Copies of this chain bind each other. A is one copy, B any other.
Amino acid sequence: MEKNPPKLSTINVMIIEDDVTYRQSLQAAISAGENLACPYACESCEEALEILEKDFAPEVLLLDIKLPGISGIEGIPKFKAFSPSTHIIMLTVFDDDDLIFNALCRGAEGYLLKSATPRQIYESIQNVLCGGAAMTPTIAGKVLKMFTQYAEPKGEYDLTTREKEILQLLVDGHSKKHLADRLCISLYTVDTHLKNIYAKLHVHSQIDVIAKALKEHLL
C-alpha cells in the first residue's frame, strides 16, 4: 500500500495454477477481497492465452512456474505482449536464484512463495497496482545479492588517469589509430600506454583488455 490508493473500481485478477485444490482456494480467497474479482482461473498458460486473445486484460496475473506445456517463466513475455499493462506476480514453491532472476528479468513485478498468506497476496496485489514490487524479504534478499554481486567486483589495478581514458575509448570501439587522433597523440604513444595497461592487467591483447574491463566493471 504505497502512493495513491488503487482505483476503487473492481480489479480483475487472473490465476494460472495447475493444482486444482490450490487454484480453487486461491480463486475463492481473491474473490473475497474487498475490490477484487477473479473471473478466470486457468490451469495452463495456453488456456489463459486463449482468453487473452478474446481481448480480456486482467489488471493482475498470479502465475505459477511449474506448469504443463508453457512454463510460467516462458509465459511472461507472451502475456506482456497481449497486455503490457497487466502486472504479473509469480506464485510458486521454488526459490532458486535463477528462476527468480529469469522471472523478474522478463517483467514480473512480484515473486511470492505459495506459503504466503491470503492477506500477503492481497497486499502484494495492491502494491503492484501502485507501481511497487511485491516480494517477501527472503526473495528481496536474494535479489539484492544478485544485484550487488553484479556491481561489486571492482578490481583495482592502479591504472593512471590517461590509461583509464585510453581503456575507455578502446571499450567504446576505437582502434588504436582512431584513438591516437582523438587524443591528439602519436600512435606510438598509444602503443606505449597500451603496453603498460597490458602489464598491469596481466593480459596480452585488446580482446582480453576489453573483456576484462567489461567483466570486472573497471570503468
Which of A48-56, A141-149, A192-200 contacts the other chain?
A: A141-149
Closest Cβ–Cβ distance, residue A156 to chain B (whole Å): 12
Contact assessment for A104 and B207 in the assembled complex, using a CB-CB cutoff below 8 Å:
no
| Chain B residues near A151 (CB-CB < 8 A) | 101, 105
| Chain B residues near A147 (CB-CB < 8 A) | 104-105, 143, 146-147
| Chain B residues near A130 (CB-CB < 8 A) | 137-138
Cβ 8 A contact of A141, one of B105, B133, B205: B133
- A140-B136 in contact given A151-B105, A211-B214, A214-B211 (Cβ < 8 Å): no
Closest Cβ–Cβ distance, residue A3 to chain B (whole Å): 7
Give the contacts of A182-201 with B (CB-CB under 8 A): none
CB of A173 closer than 8 Å to a CB of B = yes
| Chain B residues near A127 (CB-CB < 8 A) | 137
Contact assessment for B132 and A140 in the assembled complex, using a CB-CB cutoff below 8 Å:
yes
Interface size class of A (residues with CB under 8 A): 35 or more
Query: In chain B, what residue has the closest Cβ to A172?
Result: B211
Cβ 8 A contact of A140, one of B134, B205, B206: B134
**This chain: how many copies in the complex?**
2
Cβ 8 A contact of A215, one of B2, B107, B136, B214: B214
Interface SS of chain A: helix, strand, loop or mixed? helix
Closest Cβ–Cβ distance, residue A197 to chain B (whole Å): 14
A208 to B210, CA, bound (A): 9
Give the contacts of A83-130 with B (CB-CB under 8 A): 101, 104-105, 107, 109, 127-128, 130
Give the contacts of A202-219 with B (CB-CB under 8 A): 203, 205-208, 210-211, 214-215
Contact assessment for A144 and B141 in the assembled complex, using a CB-CB cutoff below 8 Å:
no
| Chain B residues near A148 (CB-CB < 8 A) | 104-105, 107
| Chain B residues near A210 (CB-CB < 8 A) | 207, 210-211, 214
Cβ 8 A contact of A144, one of B1, B133, B138: B133
- A175-B214 in contact given A140-B135, A141-B133, A147-B104 (Cβ < 8 Å): no
